[in-house]
A and B are shown apart, each in its own frame.
Chain A
């Protein structure tokens, strides 16, 4: 576990936390954009180790959480009514649609398969030439290259029975949406390290200038997060707003040009609906017309009636950091991971589920 264990070093974390305590003079609200960061902050118990002045707000960077209800309904429809082999990343299948989740569809006999890579789905399509195979391509910029590659691969290998149901979302427009919300009180951001590994960091300079906020590209291990928070606090205390890269061992300023090329070949930027937030202009990818044969949305021409979200779920407010999960009246009562009202309670990266699983009773515990 070289390259990981050194970033879980207790002494280094303690040192950064001490520096944060010495640096901070007043309350600050910092949003970690990515669900992976939320998961790590909670799983490692870092939230409880921060001084009370530092308030971490959990951002919309959980792909499962922001995938629109209607798209889950489409996936369920394709699996149940069209008899497709519906392939998906693991934590997507438990997210409730308006009628049911893919997991329930599977139990009712639909062919739903959990995969780690869309390329496996192309292989399944090759092995089952008489069946349609659809990959539920969700995720941020991080998973986009692999999903795009699967389309290119299917085209090259002549696999006509493969397509993707794409729901890709982008980080920078999400940061804009959060900052444009008049109720938002975010003062700094930890940007998602893995997204920047692909896309580079240039997209964040305009945001730093426009909103006059510090953004620190940050990794996912405890040392990364503690250091990223310290770098943000230092800027805030000095009244600065700059783009910094804490995760420089992985993130190059230009990102991964090869991966970007693959994304551009298959996808184009379009308006996209975010579950709980609404439509954010130019905030996601859709499949380019050249690859229309691989776009499940077009291929199956599915029109599923849009169903409104449960009005008891305040996911939108949670995703924008305006409310904490435990401030929701349904948290842990009408909404649990067993019976989720909304998506943030499902994925382990969702703010509500992360709180429910790991810190449910921490207040009593630390008291």
Chain B
């Protein structure tokens, strides 16, 4: 279901350079649109920044969103920008609290599209329980951007039981994944390539902070490391972990959860789902004694129905990720070089 808010009556249909000038037009855009929609006590002050007090250790993260196309099956750039930074904070073991929101808009963006993006930002923030407390809007000339770029930064307070760090990963840790892999990347790619599949593959973009908080409530320091496999996919996360900890990783192809339509699309496009981007799943490296209970808990969670234990951390072959293929073979899973390029045949 698409959540909607009626767009206010405006005397302009497209965003022009003037809307980023800081003058009257900027005010008009902000007053009639952004401020009303994202209303909260901090934003209502219309000041240069937000002032607030937070207790205890904090996590701070930032990310820029440049996805093209800006609307895709399962979401748009707006909710992606909220969920992405919320999830980055959650992966630090934090409860996300406040976000900043900055737009770089290419002149000519339809106001209607901007509104749709704003509305989805509003609902994504509500779902995640975060407030947007400061922001910025710039407009660049046509050709100097790609419709709209968004940057969000976020601050969160660390979960009291969280002890998330690469240094805590140990031999024997089980590697859990919270859901099906590769959906987001394939949803985007299928639009870019103009490919049509029998079923529409949806991006998995979603906020994971509540799911992570529940895991931390129950398992606390037994959760050693959390990571969301966005760009570069699962293979990149595993390789970075192995490289930085000087430990080995073994994963089982049979255990990797991939939706059938996504798998089919990967086959067709000549892509390996291990390297395809995700936006709504995370990986957890957990102590072996809680792995099964954590899996059970994840599977009962709204964001974890397809969760699986996909592998474990080992002492052998340090810094290397080995995949046990479904047919019983073994191979090294390397870092991706760059963007995966489709094969010829």
Contacts and interface: CB of A to CB of B under 8 A. Distances in A.
A13 B332 CA distance: 20
Interface stretch (B8-16, B159-167, B317-325): B317-325
B267 A1 contact: yes
B21 interface: no
Given A1-B260, A361-B320, A90 B328 contact: no
Interface residues of A, number: 52
A119 to B, nearest CB: 11
B327 A10 contact: yes
Contacts, number: 112
Nearest to B344: A89
A140 B343 contact: no
Given A44-B329, A337-B337, A347 B343 contact: yes
Interface string B310-345: 000000110010111111111110100100011111
Contact of A14 (B264, B324, B328): B328
Contact of A44 (B317, B327, B344): B327
B267 to A, nearest CB: 7
A193 B314 CA distance: 39
B343 A13 contact: no
B224 to A, nearest CB: 24
B194 interface: yes
B199 to A, nearest CB: 13
Contact of A1 (B264, B323, B327): B264
B1 interface: no
B326 A10 contact: yes
A117 to B, nearest CB: 10
A207 B282 CA distance: 54
A20 B279 CA distance: 44
A49 B328 contact: yes
A44 B342 contact: no
Contacts of A42: 331
A116 B263 contact: no
Given A364-B317, A365-B317, A359 B328 contact: no
Contacts of A10: 326-328
Contact of A13 (B264, B320, B328): B328
B195 interface: yes
B13 to A, nearest CB: 26
25 contacts: A8-B326, A9-B327, A10-B328, A13-B328, A34-B345, A44-B329, A45-B324, A45-B331, A47-B329, A49-B327, A63-B344, A63-B345, A64-B344, A89-B342, A89-B343, A91-B342, A116-B193, A139-B345, A142-B345, A349-B343, A358-B334, A359-B331, A362-B331, A362-B332, A365-B320
Interface of B: 193-195, 260, 263-264, 267, 269-270, 316-317, 320, 322-332, 334, 337, 341-345
Interface of A: 1, 4, 8-10, 13-14, 34-36, 39, 42-49, 63-64, 89-94, 114, 116, 120, 138-140, 142-143, 194, 222, 337-338, 347-349, 356-362, 364-366
